[in-house]
Amino acid sequence: VVAEIEKKITEAFEVFDRESNKTVDVREIGCIVRSLGCFPSEAEVHELLAKVGVEEPGGFVHLEKFLPVMTEVLLDKSYQPIPEDVLLHAFEALDENKCGYITKEDLVKYLTEE
Amino acid sequence: AFKAAVLIQQWYRRYVARLEMRRRCTWRIFQSIEYACEQDQIKLHNFFSYLMDQFTPSSSKERDFISRMFVSGESYKEAELEKYCDYESIEVPDSYTGPRLSFPLLPDHATALLEAFKQKQQLHARYVLNLLHETRKHLKQLPNISHVSTCYSEEVTVCGDLHGQLDDLFLIFYKNGLPSPSKSYVFNGDFVDRGKQSLEILIILFTFLLIYPKEVHLNRGNHEDHMVNLRYGFTKEVMQKYKVHGKKILRMFQNVFCWLPLATLIDQKVLVIHGGISDTTDLDMLEKIQRDKFISVLRMKKRNELSAKPEMQAINGESKSGTDAAGNEAAPRLSLQPQSAQAPSTANRLEFSRWLRQTVQEQMDTCRRLVDISESESEELTCSSMVSLKDVDEPCWTRQEEWKQILDILWSDPMPQEGCRENKVRGGGCYFGPDVTEKFLEKYNLQFLIRSHECKQEGYEFCHNRKVLTIFSASNYYEIGSNRGAYVKLGPDLIPHFVQYQANKTAHLLTMTQRQGIPVVLISRVEESAFRALREKLFAHTSALISAFKAYDGDNTGRITLSNWATAVESVLRLGLPWRMLRPQLVRSTEDGMLEYKSWLDDLAMEQRSQEHIQSSLLEVIYRNRSNLETIFRIIDRDHSGLISFEEFQQTWKLFSSHMNIELTDDGINDLVRSIDFNKDGNIDFNEFLEAFRLVKQCQ
């Protein structure tokens, strides 16, 4: 099972590996993690990167370092999605006027505020 | 509320990431299939080598048949060419409403042509031929390496591959302006093939070339080559559009292509070539080569010309494979190793012929210089005349070295690793590393290279520490929405400025929206196209896949794990794709992580199969080899009529199937042939044949 997980991770990694040298831009890690089925928040992605050992934003991540950390994530089933009904509640929480919808501007505002 | 926002953000980012992954996988699929297709070209070459090495014609008919494959086109001296492709006798009827050209051309002619093509009109054959004659006259005076200076016009615009996509050329002219005394252009090759309007592009480019000879510069690309055109669509396009005069027009193009300059130098600092360089690229040699001698960089040797030589006769007599100096040299890098795809028995025969080659090494060296590059009778070189080439004033490099120079310029690709190695994927040229680039730039005191040849998502891409720029001008190359096109402008400061575009509005929306909110439907279109192509490929390898699956299914349960499925598929298809990521799109149903492979393959077959009564294995084989088959047909069909005789078809098929080690009885072939001879007149319209099996490519 572990071998299979590692193969999956390697495949996803290689899709983003532009120069075929087993490294990806650190900014793509979030994308890779998410395309493997996880739902981390931005903060959680940063945590992950810290575990992998990358601090500065302009760096590269090597497959060797990424693989064990990501394997653990998948085995532990970390960063699972919250069920959809909870997601619905989240939208309702933001819908102050209770009108059943949020405008794009409001949504953008909420998502980009820290 | 904050938590809510974070939650939504989590979902949203995951959604975006998934789409990004899908987009990249789609890109990978297209790219790997494109290059695998070019790899087919290698197999085609090996097929021809095999024929030359192994096939002993048993009858004069067969001998003719084979020699026709290699002697493509009679040789024409210049005067004969002019006579044959004469245009003056062609009358233009009064009813013709298209543009009428007169020479010397004027800017008004250019605008008339642009307008006409926008209205989907066609230029009369007489004017096409006239234009080609004038173009040829002009190109002949040009050196191999054109020189452009940014002090005469403020800036130079460099465009990459256009591949018959006229809309992109229109877009470039719209955004950047037409060529003029104050607007210089360099077009970096690959004007034709794949897209449907290669002719129109060439007509427009040649027209501007003649009107503004100082400002418009064209480089030859690897697709400006009639052997490549046979396969990738230009030949077909010309014959379809010009049913009466197509042959003449093609002949002229063949000649014009070989007169195209090989490179352009901007301010002595920036070199523009179509493909790339190798560690042996020598600009001095390139300047001095007689470039018109290299009609096709992929040509096979003339078998009969060699056997005419008394020296070669002896070798021919001694070993069947005497002519594999030919097979060897026509593409020295290609035929050295037997492909692993071939069956052992064939491989053994190649081994044998290789050994024979080695035992007559000395004579081979002499014959090596008889590499047949030109078609012209007057260029036939005997051994003695080869020797006389070694005059004191003449450079004494060999034809083979010259050929390699051109091949490398037109076919090479940059790679991130250092060094320089054979480009096996394309079957020609090299992969060159940043160190090769560095050395080269230093040697010739250049600042950077501009090249094309590879499709890039954003239309352009730097590599090798910004010393190599790839510029690609055919947007939506693989499919609508697949990529942008771009062109680059250089001023006297030689700092590149890029302009990107996409020829289709919805397509523009498609690539743009990666960063905003994405209508999933649009991505799906491109994706579906990629997966359709992929499923076709899988189907074409059904037998091999079954064997591979069985290897993992020891107990013969008919099921394998998804993990093994991925490994098996890659081992057969060798496309280097992320199969585990692609699996959900390719495999519909699984039970507890296991796949029933036979029924999966059956499902694939059902999508593809059109004619039930043809053996499915045969269909599979045809699918896999259809591009090659089509190319071979076109080579046999000398008069470009679209028809070949019953017998020729049977012979082709027999040779092909023996080379590919396909079991097929004579009855099987006869059935096949009979079923496609719709008129029952003994002639096969191979377009119908390919059509009947839905083998004609999607773009048709």
Inter-chain residue contact B578 with A11, CB threshold 8 Å: yes
Cα-Cα end-to-end distance for chain B: 55
Of B4, B11, B24, the CB nearest to A15: B24
Nearest to B238 by CA among B170, B298, B192, B297: B192
Same domain, A60 and A96: no
Collapsing DSSP to helix, strand or coil, B184 comes out as strand
Considering only CB atoms, which chain A residues are within 8 Å of B28? 15
* pLDDT tens digits, one per residue of B510-569: 444 443 333 344 455 567 767 777 887 888 788 888 989 999 888 888 888 888 899 999
* B578 touching A (Cβ < 8 Å): yes
Percentage of chain B beyond pLDDT 90 is: 31
Report B:398-417 residues touching A (Cβ under 8 A).
Answer: 416-417
The pLDDT of residue B109 is above 80: yes
From B302's Cα to the closest Cα of chain A, the distance in A is 41
pLDDT value of residue A64 = 86
Same domain, A63 and A97: no
Residue A58 pLDDT exceeds 60: yes
In which domain, by residue range, is A51 found? 1-76
Report whether pLDDT(B409) > 90.
yes
Which residue shows structure tokens 């089509």? B630
Beta bridge partners of B21: none
Bigger pLDDT: B579 vs B62: B579
> What is the structure's pLDDT at B27?
73
Residue pointed to by tokens 């100082």 = B214
Whether B8 sits inside 8 A of A30 (CB atoms) is no
Would you state the pLDDT for residue A114?
Answer: 53
Looking at the structure, tell me whether residues A101 and A57 fall in a common domain: no
Put simply, the answer to whether B5 touches A42 (Cβ < 8 Å) is no
- Name the closest residue on chain A to residue B464, using Cα atoms: A19
Which residues does chain A have within 8 Å of residue B17's beta carbon, measured at their own beta carbons? 30-35
Counting every residue written for chain B, the total comes to: 700
Q: Name the range with the highest mean pLDDT among B196-210, B315-329, B503-517.
A: B196-210
Choice between B495 and B629, residue whose per-residue pLDDT is larger: B495
Residues constituting chain A = 114
Neighbours of B119 (CB within 10 A): 9
What are the beta bridge partners of residue B499? B487
Q: Are residues A48 and A2 in the same domain?
A: yes
Asked whether residue A66 falls in the same domain as residue A104, the answer is no
| Chain A residues close to B25, C-beta within 8 Å | 15
At residue B345, the pLDDT reads: 33
Residues facing residue B158 across a β-bridge: B186, B488
- A residues 27..46 contacting B (CB < 8 A): 30-35, 38-42
Structural domain count of chain A: 2
As a whole number of angstroms, the distance between CA B402 and CA B406 comes to: 7
> Which comes out higher in pLDDT, residue B58 or B602?
B602
pLDDT one-digit tens code per residue, B65-86: 555 554 444 445 566 677 777 7
Question: Is there a contact between B5 and A94 if contact means CB atoms under 8 Å apart?
Answer: yes
Q: How far is B195 from chain A (nearest CA, A)?
A: 27
Interface test with A, best of B2, B12, B14 (most A CBs within 10 A): B14
pLDDT band for position B319 (cuts 50, 70, 90)? very low
Question: Closest Cα of chain B to A84: distance in Å?
Answer: 10
Which residues of A are less than 8 Å from B563 in CB distance? 3-4, 7
- Among A9, A11, A13, A74, the strongest candidate for a mutation testing the B interface, having the largest count of B CBs within 10 A, is A11
Residue B434: pLDDT over 50: yes
List the 64-83 stretch of A: residues with Cβ below 8 A of B.
Answer: 81-82
The tokens of B570 are what? 């890659």
Residues of chain A contacting residue B6, judged by C-beta atoms under 8 Å apart:
41
- Ranges of CATH 3.60.21.10 domains, chain B: 78-300+399-501
* Burial letters B277-292, b for 16+ CB under 10 A, else e: bbeebbbebbeebebb
SS3 assignment, position B431: strand
Rounded Cα distance, B272 and B469, in Å? 9
Q: What is the pTM of this model?
A: 0.62
Contacts of A11 in chain B (CB under 8 A): 578-581
Q: A15 at the B interface (CB within 8 A)? A: yes
Query: Beta strands of B105-218 (E only): which ranges?
Result: 145-148, 156-159, 184-187, 216-218
* Residue B1 touches chain A, beta carbons under 8 Å: yes
Quick count: other Cβ atoms within 10 Å of Cβ B361? 8
On whether any CB of chain B is under 8 Å from the CB of A88, the answer is no
Least confident of A31-45, B506-520, B673-687: B506-520
B55: closest CA among B346, B265, B293, B336? Answer: B346
Pair (A49, A2) in one structural domain: yes
Active-site annotation holds for B109: no
Interface mutation target, options A5, A9, A39, A114, chain B, most CBs of B under 10 Å: A39
Task: Judge whether residue B132 has pLDDT over 70.
Answer: yes
Contact state of B578 with A91 under an 8 Å Cβ cutoff? no
> Average pLDDT, stretch B135-158?
90
Using CA atoms, how far residue A98 sits from A92, A106, A113, B334, in Å, is 7, 14, 21, 70
Given this model, what pLDDT does residue B261 score? Answer: 96
The CA distance from B228 to B573, in Å, is: 24
Same domain, A43 and A62: yes
pLDDT of residue B697: 30
Residue whose entry in the numeric block shows the structure tokens 């064997």: B547
* pLDDT of B22 over the 50 cut: yes
Taking the C-alpha atoms of residue B249 and residue B246, their distance in angstroms, rounded to an integer, is 5
- In this predicted structure, which of B129-143, B545-559, B593-607 has the lowest mean pLDDT? B593-607
CATH code: domain B78-300+399-501 is: 3.60.21.10
Distance from CA of B1 to the nearest CA of A (A): 6
Query: Which fold would CATH assign to domain B518-609?
Result: Recoverin; domain 1 (1.10.238)
Task: Return the percentage of chain B with pLDDT > 70, whole number.
Answer: 63
Whether pLDDT at B214 is above 80:
yes
Q: Is B696 a residue whose pLDDT tops 50? A: no
Q: For chain A, say whether B14 makes contact (Cβ under 8 Å).
A: yes
Phi first, then psi, for residue A52 (nearest 5°) are -70, -25
Give yes or no for B579 touching A (CB within 8 A): yes
Give the pLDDT band (50/70/90) at residue B343.
Answer: very low
| CA distance, residue A76 to nearest chain B CA (Å) | 18
Instruction: Flag if A34 and B17 touch (Cβ within 8 Å).
Output: yes
Q: Which amino acid is at B257?
A: F
Out of B91-100, B294-303, B383-392, B609-618, pick the least confident: B383-392
Q: Is the pLDDT of residue B320 over 50?
A: no
In this model, does residue B153 exceed pLDDT 50?
yes
Burial status of residue B654 (CB atoms within 10 A of its CB: 0-12, 13-18, 19 or more): middle
| Domain B616-696 CATH class label | mainly alpha
SS3 call for B183:
strand
Average pLDDT, chain B: 73
Q: What is the least distance, in Å, from the CA of A53 to any CA of chain B?
A: 22
Q: Which of B133, B163, B223, B274 is catalytic?
A: B223
pLDDT value of residue B446: 96
- The answer to whether A12 contacts B7, with C-beta atoms less than 8 Å apart, is no
ipTM: 0.81
Q: What is the pLDDT of residue B663?
A: 56
CB atoms within 10 A of CB B12: 13
pLDDT at residue B298 greater than cutoff 80: no
Q: Residue B38: what pLDDT?
A: 59
How far apart are the C-alpha atoms of B634 and B425, rounded to whole Å? 24
Considering only CB atoms, which chain A residues are within 8 Å of B568? none
Please indicate, yes or no, whether residues A22 and A64 belong to a single structural domain of this protein: yes
Q: Identify whether residues A19 and A63 lie together within a single domain.
A: yes
Comparing alpha-carbon positions, the chain B residue that sits nearest to A7 is B580
Torsion of CA B579, B582, B586, B592, to 10 degrees: 80
pLDDT score at A29: 86
Pick B129 or B657 by higher pLDDT. B129
Q: Which of B4, B12, B578 sits opposite A12 (nearest CB)?
A: B578
pLDDT at B658: 64
Average pLDDT over chain A, rounded to whole? 80
Residue A10: CATH number of its domain: 1.10.238.10
User: Between chains, do A16 and B24 touch, taking CB under 8 Å as contact?
Assistant: yes
pLDDT tens digit sequence for B453-499: 999 988 999 999 999 999 999 998 887 777 899 999 999 889 999 99
**Where along chain B do the CATH 1.10.238.10 domains lie?**
518-609, 616-696
Q: Which of B294-303, B315-324, B410-419 has the lowest mean pLDDT?
A: B315-324
Out of B6, B16, B563, whose CB is closest to A4? B563
Residue B331 has pLDDT above 80, yes or no: no
Tell me which chain B residues have a C-beta less than 8 angstroms from the C-beta of A32: 17, 21
* Domain shared by A6 and A54, yes or no: yes
**A11 and B CB contact within 8 Å:** yes
Q: Kindly state whether B566 is in contact with chain A, defined as any CB-CB distance less than 8 angstroms.
A: yes
Q: Is the dihedral of CA B41, B46, B51, B53 positive or negative?
A: positive
Fill in the DSSP letter of residue B181. Answer: T
Pairwise CB contact (< 8 Å): B4 & A38: no
The answer on A20 and A45 residing in a single domain is yes
Are both A16 and A69 inside the same structural domain?
yes
- Taking one residue from A and the other from B, the number of pairs with CB-CB distance under 8 angstroms is 89
- Please report the pLDDT score of residue B623 as a whole number: 62
Instruction: Work out the average pLDDT over B125-146.
Output: 94
| Mean pLDDT value of segment B437-459 | 94
Please give the share of chain A, as a percent, with pLDDT higher than 70. 92
> What pLDDT is stored for residue B362 in this prediction?
30
Higher-confidence residue of B652 and B14: namely B14
The answer to whether A105 contacts chain B (CB < 8 Å) is no
Given a cut of 60, whether residue B276 has pLDDT beyond it is yes
